[in-house]
Amino acid sequence: MGEPTAEQRKQLERFHRDAYDAEQRLNQARKAEQMATQTRLGAESEFMAKLSRFKGAAEFAFGTTEVIFDFDEKSGKLTFRPASVPPPHGLGKRRRK
C-alpha cells in the first residue's frame, strides 16, 4: 500500500471533513423530523381526545348520537339540530368564505 502525497492527504482530509459535516446536518435533520412527527402526533392525539370529549358530552346532553352541530366561525355560535333535519342552507351546499 502506497502513501498519499501531502496534497492528496489534504484533499482526503477536506473530503472527510465535508462528509462529516454533511453527516452532522443529516443527523440534526433527522432529530428535527422526529420532533416534528412527535409534535404532530401529539396534536392529533389531543384533537381526537378533545373531539371525543365534545361529542360524548353532546350525546349525554341530548340523549342521542343523532345530533349534528354547526359552528359559525364569524359569530362563534354553535348550534345543534337533530340528524334527520336538513341543514338550513340545503344539502350539499356550503357557503363560501
Structural domain for 25, as ranges: 6-82
Q: pLDDT per residue over 69-78, tens digit each?
A: 898 899 999 9
Q: Average pLDDT for residues 74-96, to the nearest whole number?
A: 73
In a domain, 88, yes or no: no
Residue at 36 is within a domain: yes
SS3 label, residue 91 = coil
- The answer as to whether 74 is a domain residue is yes
pLDDT band at 67 (very low <50, low <70, confident <90, very high): confident
* Model pLDDT, residue 2: 83
The confidence score (pLDDT) of residue 96 equals 61
Number of domains observed in the structure of the chain: 1
Return the percentage of the chain with pLDDT > 70, whole number: 87
pTM score over 0.75: no
Q: What is the C-alpha to C-alpha distance for residues 1 and 28, in angstroms, rounded to an integer?
A: 37
